[in-house]
Amino acid sequence: MNFKEATDILFSGAKHDELAAALGVSVASIRQARLSPSANAHREPPADWEKAVMRLAEARVAEYLSLIEGLCSGESADTRKVRPKTKKQ
């Protein structure tokens, strides 16, 4: 894995559009929900936002684990995929 590959993964963060897609709402809805409650444009967060944020965070953790393992083993992170662990119900 080279420096660019590693830092591309490291610097990739969740974007407004990812959360909007996961929740089935517009990017504007996400931005408005993030505003201070005192702002005129503030809106309540979409329903089930917690679950969507958890899923995105789990995916990000899996990417970071793959990055760490790739750096430790000298492999490219693109050649391996790590699935996030899920809670047993």
| Residue-wise pLDDT tens digits, 21-76 | 999 999 999 999 999 999 999 999 999 999 999 999 999 999 999 999 999 988 65
Q: List % helix, strand, coil for the chain (3-state, nearest 5).
A: 60, 0, 40
pLDDT score at 89: 39
CA distance 81 to 85: 13
Show me where the domains of the chain are located: 3-79
- Which pair of tokens denotes residue 23? 């929740």
pLDDT at position 19 over 50: yes
The residue type found at 31 is R
Residues in the chain: 89
Stated pTM of the model: 0.71
- Which pair of tokens denotes residue 74? 């000298």
pLDDT at position 16 over 60: yes
The residue type found at 2 is N
